[in-house]
Amino acid sequence: MSLRLLEPPKPEVRRRATAFGTVCVFLVVVLLAFSAGAEGGGLATEDPKVGTGMGITLLLAALAAMVALGMPLFVIIGVLAMLCFVLLGEGFKGLETLDLLPDKAADMMSKNVLLAIPFFVFSGAIMSAGGIATRLVDFCRALVGWMPGGLAIAAVGACVVFAAISGSSPVTVIAIGSMMYPQLAKAGYDRRFTLGLLSSAGSLGILIPPSIPMLVYAIVASSAQAIDVAELFLAGVIPGLMIGLLMAARAPFNAKGVEREAFAAKIVLQRFRDGFWAISLPVVILGGIYSGMFTPTEAAAVSVVYALIVELLIHRDIGPQDIPKILTEAVINMGTILIIMALAFGLNAFLVEEMIPQRVVEWILARDLSPVTFLLIVNVFLLLVGALMDSISAILIIAPLLAPIGAELGIDPVHLGVIFIVNLEIGYLTPPIGINLFVASSVFRQPLGEVARGVLPFIG
């Protein structure tokens, strides 16, 4: 479809598109699993509740109805899990086994490391509500504003640091992009370049720790091979910085005729003092994790305490009266993540009990693929997945299938995890579901097609 046909973002359209993308990807997984098990008779061969063909037909009909009705994603995943148990299960015997669905979800949600998610979400909400973004922009602008394309480079730098603070790509686009877009436009930068730069740089939040998608991946993929969350966090730093540098490298070529700012060491020092506490948060959190002072879960709790001290007592950008509102917003955000995770864990229980990951592994290994060939296929597949699904849903559904294959092929689980996350980061910028496209279109008040065209050079 031509980008000119894309309309400004509508929440209802995006919700339905996300649900449709999730359904498409999951159906591919189910069909692959049935193909993989064909030599052994496939799934649902021992006293199945319904025939396999009829089961898939009913599943398709139910999913089509839910998408058409615009059901929320968590409802679709939950119903999908229930229907899989009843219609396609071989080891489960109908409706009497549905109590296993909440049991499996509760078991997975009881993992201690999941406590890090609400803490990191709350910490990011506190920092975003204060004046952290303004201080970061001022410091980065004073530091590199004198370079060719300095203002655009400052925007990328501010996005990198703020992404490490908030752990959220959409929040980064909103906080940094809303300030930098008018400044870049006023300085004379091309509008399409500005839209692409801010949307792309904001997507680094999924890769630069502390990253909630990375945390979720470590939890889900650990069923195949143990993954140290701290190692995965560390592995995301260098790719994140490299991608940020590549984005910044485009700035001088798009800054012709743009006036540079004067360099003043005194101003740089002053801006550094103003932004010191914001810049120090990633250092404190990551340094504490890698030095062994605290675990990732403890680091998340420390980040909340740190954010409260900085914003309430040092900067005083917020007051005690603002905490209930911030907490409410954080609870809504974390609730959205956790309910999808809980239901997806129930869906994963079906995959595990029916030995679908093992069947897929056997099917892949029978093709005698080399690790390099497998990774190339995974890259292409995940690019498509990232364009159709949000990152959390993609991780919860796809990671349990890919992680065992990677383990059998001898691929380092951290390496595979970074590849997984990088491809999903690109998905944040890819139509039709790319969340950053919708966020940027709303924040910058520009047509979605214009934002998508601006992003293309950065993902190409």
Q: Is the dihedral of CA 85, 351, 344, 32 positive or negative?
A: negative
Domain boundaries, the chain: 3-111+337-459, 113-333
pLDDT tens readout for residues 42-54? 444 444 444 455 6
Q: Is 274 helix (H, G, I), strand (E, B) or coil?
A: helix
Rounded to 10 deg, the angle between the 116-129 and 132-144 helix axes is 70
* Average pLDDT of span 169-178: 81
Sequence-distant (≥ 6) Cβ neighbours of residue 114 within 8 angstroms: 219, 338, 341
Among residues 160, 230, 234, the alpha carbon closest in space to that of 202 is found at 160
Find the range with the poorest average confidence among 91-95, 182-186, 262-266: 91-95
Whether residue 67 contacts residue 16, with contact meaning beta carbons closer than 8 Å, is answered with: yes
**Res 380: pLDDT:** 86
* Alpha-carbon span 239 to 128, nearest angstrom: 24
Give me the percent of the chain exceeding a pLDDT of 70.
Answer: 77
Sequence-distant (≥ 6) Cβ neighbours of residue 447 within 8 angstroms: 6, 7, 8, 441
**Res 41: pLDDT:** 45
pTM of the model: 0.74
* Alpha-carbon span 411 to 400, nearest angstrom: 15
216 vs 23 pLDDT, higher one: 216
Q: Please report the DSSP string for 203-248 in residue order.
A: GGGGTSSS-HHHHHHHHHHTTTS---HHHHHHHHHHHHHHHHHHHH
Q: Is the dihedral of CA 286, 288, 291, 295 positive or negative?
A: negative
pLDDT at 66 over 60: yes
**328: Cα separation from own chain's centroid:** 22
pLDDT at 40 over 70: no
**Res 53: pLDDT:** 59
pLDDT at 186 over 50: yes
Confidence grade of residue 193 (pLDDT, cut at 50, 70, 90): very high
Confidence grade of residue 98 (pLDDT, cut at 50, 70, 90): low
